[in-house]
Amino acid sequence: MPETGSPVPPPSREIKWKATAHLVAESCRVPLPTTVRYRSRSPFTLQLTLHTPTGDVVWNLERDMLFTGTDKPTGIGEVHIRPAPYDQVVLRLGAPSACALITFERGHVLRWLSTSYTLVPAGTESDHIDWKPFLDVLAG
């Protein structure tokens, strides 16, 4: 039984999107199987797994940043996202001198993000985090 005043998050839920992204390399687009995973217990981020011939490459992205990037350029550090012609979204992953450019269809990204916002509405993310382990350490 939870202590009085202890936050109790809703049950953990997860959604996955298996998609085909495209790696932009020397003016050609190479199909790249991709899995995007969103977990309600980690509500601010999503996990992007690029399934390459040499193994999986995993990036953690901020959900709101991806949403913003479907409409206007955004990003910081090694993650930059922007809309592109032909209803595309471009993710630049890595340092500018050695980065990967990945494209997704904008409509598909927006539909998947809509599902994630149904699971955890914007502004309620903190309600879905299990704060108990953190609070236990502080009470220590």
pLDDT tens profile 86-123: 999 999 999 988 899 999 999 999 999 999 999 999 99
Q: Which residue has the tokens 């959900």?
A: 63
Task: Please tell me the total number of residues recorded for the chain in this structure.
Answer: 140
For the chain, state the CA radius of gyration: 17
Distance from C-alpha of 25 to C-alpha of 83, rounded to nearest angstrom: 18
14-139: what CATH class?
mainly beta
Range 1-20 average pLDDT: 75
Q: How many CA atoms lie within 13 A of 98 on its CB side?
A: 0
Residue 1 above 90 pLDDT?
Answer: no
- Ordered strands of the 14-25 beta sheet: 55-62, 45-52, 28-39, 14-25, 98-105, 88-95, 79-84, 74-76
Distance from C-alpha of 38 to C-alpha of 92, rounded to nearest angstrom: 20
The domain spans of the chain are 14-139
Q: Phi and psi dihedrals of 52, rounded to 5?
A: -95, 165
pLDDT tens profile 32-51: 999 999 999 999 999 999 99
